[in-house]
Amino acid sequence: MLTAVVGINWGDEGKGRIVDLLSRDQDIVVRYQGGNNAGHTVINEKGEFILNLLPSGILRDDVVCVMGNGMAIDLHHLHGEIEKLREKGIKISPENLKISDRAIITMPYHVDLDCFEEERLGGAGYGSTKRGIAPVYSDKYAKKAIRTGDLFHKEYLKEHLKSILDFKNLTIEKVYGKQGRAYDEMLEYLETYGEEFRDYICDTGVYLRRANAEGKRIMFEAQLGALRDIDFGIYPFTSSSNTISAYAPIGAGIPGIKVDTTVGIMKAYSTCVGAGPFTVEMEGDEAEALRKAGGEYGAATGRPRRVGAFDVVASRYGVCVQGSDKIALTKLDVLSYMDKIPVCTAYEYNGEIINDFPVGEVLEKAKPVIEYVDGWGCDISGCRSFDELPANAKHYVEFLEEKLGSKMWLISVGAERDAYFMR
């Protein structure tokens, strides 16, 4: 059984929390794209954890985690992330963590280039996390990337690195007027971490195909959401990889095997980290109240998230491109302070009502059509069934279901591991 857990919107929907919850019934959890620009927060009996590279299943002792070929892996960051988890008693070894030998490596010069370009763009930047993601994926498709499997072949690695670094430094020095990276420094970087992770790196495709044939339960964990997908998101304000569930087997290393179930995650309201169109965005005191109620600050960056009303148009599109069979609604409890809850049910552009998610200038200039639903005004974090919800909370969920044409399979009412129920 192969299950994908994906984001429906702009990212930060609560995927880490849901993956942690659902991973109790899984044998293997796989990250299949993205890098350490991810920020998946998990709270359990051992404490609060923010995971950037490692799959959220790493917090369960009996789950094997895989970092797939579709990922971009910053080895220095991975080292630090593992050490922090070990300090909190999390066991990590080649037995429960496997890294694809086809995954690309995010190098220090990728981070440099990311920062230099955002600096050059100034206020017109794309909202990068400045962790080298766009430059390393650019190199992947330009065939100038270093893969983890290259670390096993030292002479090849030396020659490959020299060729790449000469080109990268040319860009850094001649385009940005900055100091390039020294060859010896970069080689030492690769050799040091290559030795550290040698026993973790393998052909994850072989491992996963064998596991699937044995009937193992495999879960794919996405980074970001549908609207940040490089093909189907709010281009150019997207990530540099495919965040949709259809890419999961490809990015994991088993492209010939289909996903059985896709669980789409959405919040009970909208949030967005980074630049780009965000039709439902709130401003001022209204935004700050929602941001504080939901603790809406980026797990990877610490930046305040942009917040807004639930967006039916964007969410319906996200459900469609993700091919979601089941929907998980997170953070319903956050809205308990509102007397009237806004919901964007359509967009308006030049006097025309738009129900299908647009692109380009239309998306940039569209205005939200807002309807209001009565709030419930009480704490719901202790509810463990739909029937226990106040009438107005039930109505809000049913209102969203009607507008989306999708039923909520799981509803989260708090940050704790057990603060949820299924329908």
User: d(Cα 351, Cα 239) in Å, to the nearest integer?
Assistant: 32
Could you tell me the two tokens for 116? 């230099």
Domain boundary residue, one of 163, 178, 196: 196
State whether 50 and 126 are in the same domain.
no
Give the containing element (helix H, strand E) for 408: strand 408-412
Instruction: Supply 182's token pair.
Output: 């020294």
Structural domain ending residue among the three candidates 196, 217, 235: 196
Q: For strand 352-354 and strand 340-349, is the pairing parallel, antiparallel, or unpaired?
A: antiparallel
CA distance 322 to 340: 30
16 and 123, same domain (yes or no): no
Q: Is-contact 98 129, C-beta < 8 A?
A: no
Confidence (pLDDT) at 256: 92
SS3 210: helix
156: which 2 tokens? 């090849």
236 prior amide bond cis, ω within 30: yes
Reading the block at residue 282, the tokens are 């709130």
Stated length of the chain: 423
Give this prediction's pTM. 0.90
> Looking at 12, 74, 112, 139, which residue is catalytic?
12
Give yes or no: residues 362 and 284 share one domain.
yes
Q: What is the CATH number of the domain that holds 141?
A: 1.10.300.10
Residues 86 and 223 reside in one and the same domain: yes
Which pLDDT score is estimated for 124?
Answer: 63
Q: What local confidence, expressed as pLDDT, does residue 346 receive?
A: 98
- φ, ψ of residue 46 to 5 degrees: the values are -90, -10
Rg (CA), the chain: 22
pLDDT in tens, 282-293: 999 999 999 999
Catalytic residue check, 40: yes
What is 46-104 written as a DSSP string? TEEEEESSS-GGGGSTT-EEEE-TTBEE-HHHHHHHHHHHHHTT----TTTEEEETTPE
Pair (212, 353) in one structural domain: no
* Mode of pairing for the β-strands spanning 104-105 and 420-422: unpaired
Listed residues 174, 196, 218: the one ending a domain:
196
Q: SS3 letters for 386-405?
A: HHHCCHHHHHHHHHHHHHHC
Q: What is the CATH number of the domain that holds 210?
A: 3.40.440.10
> Using CA atoms, how far apart are residues 265 and 5, in angstroms rounded to an integer?
7
Q: Are strands 40-44 and 47-51 parallel, antiparallel or unpaired?
A: antiparallel
Same domain, 279 and 379: yes
- Round to whole Å and give the CA distance between 108 and 201: 20
Residue 389 to residue 395: CA distance in whole angstroms: 10
pLDDT at 274: 78
Tokens of 264: 């789409």
Task: Indicate the burial class of 158 (C-beta count within 10 angstroms; 0-12, 13-18, 19 or more).
Answer: middle
CATH number at residue 401: 3.90.170.10
Please give the pLDDT value at position 379.
96
Residues of the chain below pLDDT 70: 43, 45, 123-127, 298-301
394 and 283 in a single domain? The answer is yes
Amino acid at 416: E
Q: What is the structure's pLDDT at 263?
A: 96
Give the C-alpha separation, 250 to 68, whole Å: 9
Contact predicate 169/181, CB 8 Å: yes
Question: In which domain, by residue range, is 152 found?
Answer: 104-196
How far is 37 from 51, CA to CA, in rounded Å?
10
Choose the catalytic residue: 40, 110, 114, 333: 40
Cβ atoms of 65 and 25 closer than 8 Å: no
User: Is residue 129 located within the same domain as residue 259?
Assistant: no
Cβ–Cβ < 8 Å for 239, 36: no
- The number of folded domains in the chain is 3
Q: Do 276 and 154 belong together in one domain?
A: no
Q: Do 299 and 404 share a domain, yes or no?
A: yes
- On whether both 415 and 300 belong to a single domain, the answer is yes
Same domain, 355 and 375: yes
